Amino acid sequence: MVDSALWISSLTAGTAVLASWVTSRGTARAAQIQAAATERTQRVVRVSEARRAAYVSLIEQAHKMAELYWSASDIYASGSPRVEQLPQLKEVRASLREEYGKLRHHIWVIALEGPDNVAAAAEALRLATRPPYRALVASIDGDPDAADTFDECYDPFWNSVLSFVSAARTAVHGV
């Protein structure tokens, strides 16, 4: 009887050790799966936050440039003599150069962050800043038709901003 009890207790102990080992392996595997899933989720959140921040920065910068365009239009619409407009227009031109550098930086960040359709919309926005700037420079250089050309360039610029916003919203919200 003692041999039988020893045999049963050994078998029970072995079964308990084996069950404990199997359980610990399963728990370790479940912890690894959960850690990997948490890491993927955190990465998605970080990418989403970085993209959102980059998109918002570009939109804010586009608004700053739009305000400068509006101020140039106000200078043209003031009806003051060209001699009085020229220093103000040169000031707007200098401000546009400074703001364009910031805009270009935001576009590079977006090109890095992606996705491609948002980067393409950002690049289209950048390209839409060229015609108004060229018209402003032409106006400063004395082209009498440049003020009208400048005003005609605003809508394409603003449409490029709206296109970017739409592409960004789709990328952020999947709408």
Q: Which DSSP category does 141 fall into?
A: T
Task: Assign 144 to helix, strand or coil.
Answer: coil
- Cα–Cα distance measured from residue 37 to residue 11, given in angstroms and rounded to the nearest whole number: 39
pLDDT tens for each residue of 61-103? 999 999 999 999 999 999 899 899 999 999 999 999 999 999 9
Handedness of CA 148, 94, 130, 102 (dihedral sign): negative
Q: What is the pLDDT of residues 100-150, one digit of tens each?
A: 999 999 999 999 988 999 999 999 999 999 999 999 999 999 999 999 999
CATH superfamily, region 47-173 = Talin, central domain (1.20.1420.10)
Q: Whole-model pTM?
A: 0.78
Give the count of alpha carbons within 13 A of 146, CB side only. Answer: 19
Domain ranges of the chain: 47-173
CA-based end-to-end distance of the chain? 75
